[in-house]
Amino acid sequence: MEKLLKGKLPRHIAIIMDGNGRWAKKRFLPRIAGHKAGVSAVRNVVENCRRLGIEILTLYAFSSENWNRPSREVNALMDLLGDFLKSELKEMLKNNIRLTTIGEIERLPGSALKCLQSVCEETADNDGMILNLALSYGSRNEIIKAVRRIVSDYSEGKLTPSDINEERFSRYLFTANFPDPDLLIRTAGELRISNFLLWQLSYTELYVTNTLWPDFRKDDLIKALEDYQKRERKFGRTSEQIERENWKGKMCNPKDG
């Protein structure tokens, strides 16, 4: 942990929490038992990210495609979400964590939606870590919604085609107020994005672990962060350019080195 703090930490971590079903299957348990076990991993990662001083933690909790799962599983996931929110509110207030969401949350059942909205409101003034839950979230849908709003603003004369640039477009997405993730972690080994943050991940560092989500603990997070700290983020430039800039930065701010 101490070694980590000396290096550069990501401001924004996003996680595709996958593998709950496989975790349960390995133990001859119903899939829902895997989701229940996954909730402990959520508590754990929230606490560890907060301690490390991560600014934003975005968790992919339910995709727009996950609505196609058997209704029993969907209902159980919605109940778990409600229970999690009710049990975590006190902890979030104590730890200065603000809850936000991305996705079509209006599709959630009334009881889960009510809990969600109330926790978001009650934690709105917290200025410690942001816990951002992706719920009923699909990135293609997010982009389509953005385009619809842009067209509507255009037809009302609020913008012209030349007003649209990357920065302006980003402001029409669910993630309008957040910087792009620096690090994406996917558990359970699949090498795909599964309709998550397609626009926002353009220059995000990707880290995939075979650990199943319910088993993901502090050591796994630290491994991901250590790996991240070894990466050279070039954003299209050459290593030499990056080195020169780092060197210049150190000359200007010798204490930061």
**Contacting positions for Mg ion (CB under 5 A):** 18
Is there binding between residue 163 and ligand IPE (CB under 6 A)? no
| Residue 38 structure tokens | 């996954």
* Cross-strand bridge partners of residue 134: 60, 102
- Span interacting with ligand IPE, options 14-22, 42-50, 225-233, 239-247, rule CB under 6 A: 14-22
What CA–CA distances, in Å, run from 45 to 54, 124, 130, 164, 216?
11, 21, 13, 37, 8
User: Which neighbouring-strand residues pair with 59?
Assistant: 15, 133
190 binds ligand IPE (CB under 6 A): yes
Task: Mark 50-69 with x for binding to ligand IPE (rule: CB under 6 A) and - for no binding.
Answer: ----------xxxx--x---
Q: Which is nearer to ligand IPE, 22 or 223 (CB)?
A: 22
Least separation in angstroms between residue 204's CB and ligand IPE is 16
Q: How far is the CB of 18 from Mg ion (least distance, A)?
A: 4
Q: Taking CB within 5 to 8 Å according to partner kind, which of Mg ion, ligand IPE, none is near residue 243?
A: none
Asked if 182 is an active-site residue, the reply is no
Residue 102 interacting with ligand IPE (CB under 6 A): no
Cβ distance to Mg ion smaller for residue 18 or 88: 18
- Joined tokens for residue 143: 């982009």
CB of 126 to ligand IPE, least distance (A): 24
Smaller CB distance to ligand IPE: residue 25 or 218?
25
Query: Is 220 in the active site?
Result: no
Start-to-end Cα distance in the chain: 19
The H or E element that residue 37 is part of is helix 31-52
| Contacts of residue 186, Cβ cutoff 8 Å, sequence gap at least 6 | 15, 16, 18, 206, 207, 208, 209
Binding residue for ligand IPE (CB under 6 A) from 12, 13, 14, 20?
20
Tokens of 220: 């796994």
Q: Estimate to the nearest angstrom the gap between the alpha carbon of 157 and the chain centroid.
A: 34
Q: Minimum distance between the CB of residue 196 and ligand IPE, rounded to whole angstroms?
A: 7
Question: Active site residue: 44, 66, 95, 195, which one?
Answer: 66
Burial readout 64-93 (b: 16 or more C-beta within 10 A, e: otherwise): bebeebeeeeeebbbebbbebbeebbeebe
Residues in touch with ligand IPE (CB under 6 A) = 16-22, 60-63, 66, 77, 188, 190, 192, 194
